[in-house]
Amino acid sequence: METFGALIRRIRTARGLLLREVAANLQVDPSFLSRIESDTKRATREHVVQLAAFLKADENELLIAYLSDRIIYELQGEKLAMKAMSVAEKKIRYLAKTPRLRNRALKRGATCSSPGKSRW
C-alpha cells in the first residue's frame, strides 16, 4: 500500500513536474515538500486540497491517503489499535446520523462513559 507521500511523488513525477514547481505553487519550501514525499513530515489538509488541484488529481483519493496515514501515525504500535478502529467506525456512523449529537460530541470530545464498555 502506498503512503500519502509516495502517492504525491508518483503523481508529480508522472506529470513531469519538478519538486520546486509544486512547492512554489503550494508556497512552501521545496525541502518541506520533499520531506512530505519521503514521509518524514506531514502535510496539512489544506496542502492536500491544494496538491489535488495543482496536480489535477482526484481530491478524494489524496484525502483518503492523507487521512489513513494520520490514523496509522496515531495508532501505530498500539495493541488495541484494531479494536479502537472498530469503535471509532461505529462512532463515526452514529454521529453522522445525528448532526445535533455530533456537534455536542465534538465540543466535549466523544468518549465513552464506562471504562471497558462501549456505547457505540
Residues 61 and 19 occupy one common structural domain: yes
Give the Å distances, CA to CA, from 2 to 43, 62, 64.
Answer: 16, 11, 11
pLDDT band per the 50, 70, 90 thresholds, residue 45? very high
pLDDT digits (tens, 9 = 90+) for 63-85: 999 999 999 999 999 999 999 99
Count the domains in the chain.
2
Judge if 63 and 10 occupy the same domain.
Answer: yes
Measured CA to CA, the distance from residue 79 to residue 35 in angstroms comes to 28
pLDDT digits (tens, 9 = 90+) for 82-108: 999 999 999 888 888 876 766 666 666
27: pLDDT strictly greater than 60: yes
Instruction: Identify whether 13 is part of a domain.
Output: yes
- Residue 118 lies inside a defined structural domain of this protein: no
Instruction: Answer yes or no: do 10 and 67 share one domain.
Output: yes
Helix pair 59-75, 4-14: axis angle to 10 deg: 150
